[in-house]
Amino acid sequence: MEDFVKEYLYGVILIKVNLTRATLREAQELKQILEEEITIQHKKLVLDISQCEFIDSTFFGVLIFEHKKMIASGGILNIVRPINTNGNFLHLTQVLDYLNMYETRSEAVEYFDKNIPIQNKNLNKNE
């Protein structure tokens, strides 16, 4: 299974992170992937990190940096919250202040078009 899988859904680029540990090595790969999407001017990105049980500061740093780049380019990066990490960590590091975090893929994608009921389109609650 690939670490990063890209899907296109209703004009939204969905990048699924298939990792339980997101560290420096993966952060560099993610940065490259997101930079490519920004370069070709995709404006609607969803990054699903729900399977990550451990995320180091380098990976979070890439998320924040690329999120700011998306905003500067007129785009939006929504992130599906990790389900197995301690929510207090996210609050303590103030990551939530910088990122658009959602509980599910459906919510993150629906943000872009409230008229599309994604949950009826073959995505389960954790996707």
pLDDT at residue 6 in the model: 95
Alpha-carbon span 116 to 123, nearest angstrom: 13
Say which CATH superfamily domain 4-120 falls into: STAS domain (3.30.750.24)
Higher pLDDT, 72 or 126: 72
Every domain of the chain and the residues it spans: 4-120
Of 76, 81, 11, which Cα lies nearest the Cα of 49? 81
Distance, first Cα to last Cα, the chain: 17
Residue 96 pLDDT > 90, yes or no? no
Q: Which residues contact 117 (CB under 8 A, 6 or more apart)?
A: 110
Structure confidence by residue, pLDDT tens digits, 40-57? 999 999 999 999 988 888
3-40 pLDDT, tens digit per residue, is: 999 999 888 999 999 999 999 999 999 999 999 999 99
Query: Confidence class of residue 88 from pLDDT cuts 50, 70 and 90?
Result: very low
CA gyration radius for the chain?
14
Mean pLDDT over the full length of the chain: 82
At 123, is the pLDDT very low, low, confident or very high (cuts 50, 70, 90)? very low
Q: Where are the alpha helices (DSSP H) in the chain?
A: 24-39, 57-72, 87-92, 105-110
pTM higher than the cut 0.85: no
CA 95-11-33 angle, to 5 degrees, is 50
